[in-house]
Amino acid sequence: MTFNEQELVQGCKQRNRTAQRQLYDVFGGKLFAICLRYTKNRIDAEDVLQDAFIKIYENIDSFRNDSPLEYWLRSVVVNTALNHLRQQKHLKDLDDIDLHHNGIADKEVTLGDFQLRQLMEVIQELPIGCQTIFNLYAIEGYQHNEIAQKLGISEGTSKSQYARARGLLQQKLNKEKRFNDGSVRDKQF
């Protein structure tokens, strides 16, 4: 879709409903995907998306054109998602995880073998702490110290949670892969 980002922002700043709708149409899909990554189910993701867009429209005045709009929108959504998790007290007691490594490294899997929905699902199946930190570190690209600050946890916790997330993802994907390779590949999600 072609659109003029500046005009869109300007329209939203003027509380123009058409512009607001267009912004939603343009970015809603990507932002919803973020919401799905940070929540456990679609209903929660929808709630987060809704809250995020309200925040976006309310705070669009604070957006300056010095950074890409999408970057700003993503950060609003991520923060909204984190707030959502905080409100549900999911992020309250994230502890260091003692990783009992069994010495057998899970085989690296190639993500290209999976559908997006499968990837989303394996992320959603992670324990909430792991899920959040995985998202922040691996996808959003925050550093562990930033994550620690954001979530009010120690850097060590962030690291250990991430390591666990990574291990779990490998396990799950290997399982999925075996599943995919098997006869029930066409499982409907």
State the DSSP string of 13-43. Answer: HTT-HHHHHHHHHHHHHHHHHHHHHHSSSHH
Q: Which is nearer to other proteins, 111 or 156 (CB)?
A: 111
Which stretch in 18-26, 87-95, 125-133, 151-159 sits in contact with other proteins by CB under 8 A? 18-26
Radius of gyration of the chain (CA): 19
User: Shortest gap between Cβ of 183 and other proteins (angstroms)?
Assistant: 25
- Nearer to other proteins among residue 151 and residue 162 (C-beta): 162
* Residues 112 and 150: beta-carbon distance below 8 Å: no
Nearest to 34 by CA among 152, 126, 137, 139: 139
Residue choice 8, 81, 133, 137 for contact with other proteins (CB under 8 A): 137
Give the span between the Cα atoms of 97 and 94, in whole angstroms: 9
C-beta separation of 128 from 37 below 8 A = no
The interface region with other proteins, picked from 45-53, 87-95, 142-150, 176-184 by CB under 8 A, is: 45-53
- Enumerate binding residues for other proteins (CB under 8 A): 15, 17, 20-21, 24, 28-30, 32-33, 36-37, 46, 49-50, 53-54, 57, 105, 108, 110-112, 114, 116, 119-120, 137-139, 141, 166
